Structure 1
Amino acid sequence: MGEASVDRSEGFGERLLGVLLDRARLLPPQLIAPLVAEEVARIGGRDVSILLQDYAQELLVPLPGKKLHVGQPEPMLDSPAGRAFLRGDVVEVPQTPSGVRMYLPLLGGSDTVGVMALTLDAIGHDDRRLLSRLSGLVADMLVTKGAYTDQFFQARHREPMSVSAEIQWSLLPPTSMSVPQVEVARILEPAYRVAGDSFDYALNDNILHAAVIDAMGHGLDAATMATVAIGAYRHARRVCISLAEKYAFMDDAISRQFGPDHFVKAQLMHVNIATGEMELVNAGHPAPLLLRDGRVVQQLESATTLPVGFGGEEPRVREHTLQQGDRVLCYTDGIIEEHVNDGEQFGEERLIPPMATHARDQADQSRCCRRTC
């Protein structure tokens, strides 16, 4: 079928997406990506790849499957696939001698789960509209099917993962969340040997709830404590109690289960995304950094509170006010206590400059976008 005779109209697109939905509902996970390749071929697309983010968040790795183009992993930085993933935008790369290679971010809700790549001989408005909708549908199918298969996990991991890391990854919410008022993103490093560090969040009405924890010790003991701490936090969050009450509930759960010699460092936050008002309880963690207008302006200090599990008094909640465009960086002491080549600890003095550089780059990009939109 010639390029000019391929139907990519609105009606055709609706029928194609409908057929894909109907067929995917009953398909096993391993047949989803081949089905996508088959449907893309109906609009003249070829060399279809589904690229998933690896657990270290450094590479986009191809999902294997019949009818799929399986190439080498693509770096998250300095590659068209990586740009599509990180920016959430479609990237088009002209091919020699003709054609266009398209990289479409796979957005599962507001979390980017991967990239779909394909080649077309030519591309127009109808192609972009249809493929954008198709990529959204593919992302939702990968998230849904991934809940009951190990195949996507096997594609994403690049080295053996410890049992404690398996436990921690199973606890985590989506890598990122974005709505017009707020964005959340996290990274877990080392991805394959993590023990007691974990993170959780939820957006309930106008309140963003977030927690960062660091359970003492290493291996399974730390992972078990982190599991109890996150479970207690989620339970407390879902019964709609205050920030101080969340701390007390977690404290009671850890002390009852593990005794007085175990503890979990924690940061608990409420952010009103409509007003910017932020409540913070810091129980043993380094203070978060506030980045504004491309620079680190302060550490968000709070009253001293004992780590969870020590039976501390009710914490005093510190209030801050965030402005539009502010970024809050929370981190565990594993970053600043890591030893560098000279044997010294990495320290906060080494952490702040790259954070400030990143914030300036993001601010410049934001200003550029506002001028051109």
Structure 2
Amino acid sequence: MTQSARRNGRPEVDRSEGFGERLLGHLLDRAHEMPPQLIAPLVAEEVHAMGGRDVSILLQDYEQIMLVPLSGQGLTVGAPVPIDGSTAGAAFLRTTPVEQPLADGTRIFLPLLDGSDEVGVLVLTLDRIDDDDRRLLRRLAGLVAEMLVTKNAYTDLFLRTRRREPMSVAAEIQWSLLPPLTMTTPQVAVAGILEPAYSVAGDSLDYALNGDTLHLAVIDAMGHGLNAAVLATVAMGAYRHARRTDVGLAELYAFMDNAVDQQFGPDQFVTAQMMTLDVSTGYLQAVNAGHPAPLLIRDNKVNQTLESPGTLPVGFGGATPLISTQQLLPGDRVLFYTDGLVEEHTRGGEQFGEDRLVEAVERVARATGSVQETVRGLSHALMRERAGITSDDATLFLVEWRGTSPRG
């Protein structure tokens, strides 16, 4: 600490590269055996040590509408902050730090990114800020995000913070099975959203990036409530098991079909889309088992509907499915969705339909940037057009092939 330099009555703090390494190392060392409820206060303590103040940690709620503050000693806790129209929300959506000048310093909003999965926003105030500070804060935010994700496995604290409504048992099951809803790499980006967030039951999605192959699945189990959630759990578990044995799409479909049939018999089924994308070439292969056809979006317009040969829903014992193919161009996006989105009714009582979906997709695509921002904006726009009515689960899953090298 430089004792000779002072600002606003507070001593200046050394935030050089060496200081930053020591601070982050100290934080990491202390966090290893720290109870989950003390992680956020520990972060506040370390931020204060680097000269920061008014520290808040904001987590995204399940509906992706608000950023909700974590409570704890040393943290500034206020009301939830809307993602749309707020400075914290801008940092969250753009995954870029935002600085807000104040009379006595600078308020900094830092996205909390675990890899590319967006956890929330770290907010703090510094008397002054320079490039050393910015570098240190970016690294600090990355470490905080990873600590929150790691400790989340040991506690309900962070999940409870994110909840703004009671959650059904079916939704509890579904959320516990989901992968991170965003992933971004130089070659490909994905983002998904499920609604209604607190009572979703039969819809689910999954993906895995194995080498150059991105595996994707969207499913919709018949029925509602707990039975649909259990059906979806078996189907998704069978999908993951088969995928991890490295079988092709036709064999994967057969394995899922057999698992659902053996467990539930012929009276229950799951519609599904299973896909693989070669992220080095943009070559997409898909099996459609009774699902709405996905939309190909090119230059912010719906270029075509990706129709494919029909296959019976999973659980009906269908024949070996035909696999459809599509060559994507760099920048192409493919939107997968469940029928709850288009079969819902509008304010006037008419079925929402695919034409309205296409109009909304193109309108939102022009006004947004990242896949996460687009899929979130589309979900909320569609919810507004349906006057908030969701009588069935609705899922959106957006995939963008970027066509660049891993080192791009």
**TM-score, length of structure 1 as denominator length:** 0.96
CA contact (8 A) 2:171 2:201 kept: yes
* Partner Cα separation in structure 2 for residue 302 and residue 85 of structure 1: 37
Could you tell me how far apart the structure 2 residues matched to 1:69 and 1:175 are?
A: 28
Amino acid across the alignment from 1:306: L
**Does the alignment pair 1:101 with 2:119?**
no
Structure 1: gaps (5+ residues): 366-373
Aligned to 1:42: 49
Distance 2:369 2:193 in 1: 21
Residue pairs, 1:288-307, within 5 angstroms? 288-307=294-313
Find the counterpart in structure 2 of residue 77 from structure 1: 84
> 1:83 Cα shift?
1.1
- Distance in 2 (CA, whole Å) between partners of 1:80 and 1:289 is 33
TM-aligned CA deviation for residue 362 of structure 1: 4.3
CA–CA separation in structure 2 for the residues paired with 1:344 and 1:196: 24
SS of 2:56's equivalent?
strand
Of residues 270, 279, 283 in structure 1, which corresponds to 2:276? 270
Q: Does 1:250 align with 2:256?
A: yes
Query: SS of 2:34's equivalent?
Result: coil
1:136, distance to aligned residue in structure 2 (A): 0.3
Q: Which amino acid is 1:179 matched to?
A: T
| 1:185 equivalent in structure 2 | 191
* CA distance in structure 1 between the aligned counterparts of 2:109 and 2:359, rounded to whole angstroms: 32
How many Å separate the matches in 2 of 1:317 and 1:22?
51
Q: 2:14 aligns with which of 7, 31, 40?
A: 7
Distance 2:154 2:36 in 1: 8
Whether contact under 8 Å (1:85, 1:114) holds in the other structure is yes
The corresponding residue for 1:51 is: 58
CA distance in 2, matches of 1:276, 1:204: 15
Equivalent residue, structure 1, for 2:155:
149
Deviation at 1:76, TM superposition (A): 1.3
Aligned pair 1:348/2:354, yes or no? yes
Question: SS of the counterpart of 1:320?
Answer: strand
Paired residues for 1:172-251 under 5 Å: 172-251=178-257
Match of 2:390 in 1: none
Structure 2: 5+ residue runs without aligned partners? 374-408
The letter of the residue matching 2:218 is V
Deviations 1:199-229 (A, max 9, x none): 0000000000000000000011100000000
Q: Matches of 1:362 and 1:168 in 2, distance apart?
A: 28
Identity of aligned residues (%): 65
Aligned to 1:128: 134
Which protein, 1 or 2, shows the higher relative CO under an 8 Å CA cutoff with sep ≥ 6?
2
Question: Would you say the 8 A contact 2:38–2:72 is kept in 1?
Answer: yes
Q: Report the secondary structure of 1:104's partner residue.
A: strand
Q: Does 2:149 align with 1:158?
A: no
1:66 alignment partner in structure 2:
73
- Provide the TM-score with structure 2 as the length reference: 0.88
The equivalent of 1:320 in structure 2 is: 326
Q: Residue 369 of structure 1 corresponds to which residue in structure 2?
A: none
Match of 1:33 in 2: 40
Q: Distance in 1 between matches of 2:232 and 2:214?
A: 21
Decide which of 269, 278, 285 is 2:291's aligned counterpart: 285
Q: Distance between the aligned counterparts of 2:369 and 2:308, measured in 1?
A: 27
Once residues 323 and 311 of structure 1 are traced to their aligned partners in structure 2, the CA distance between those partners, rounded to angstroms, is 35
Is contact 2:12-2:51 (8 Å) kept? Answer: no
Structure 2 Cα separation of the partners of residues 231 and 289 of structure 1: 26
Equivalent residues, number: 364
- SS of 1:212's partner is strand
Distance in 2 (CA, whole Å) between partners of 1:226 and 1:233 is 10
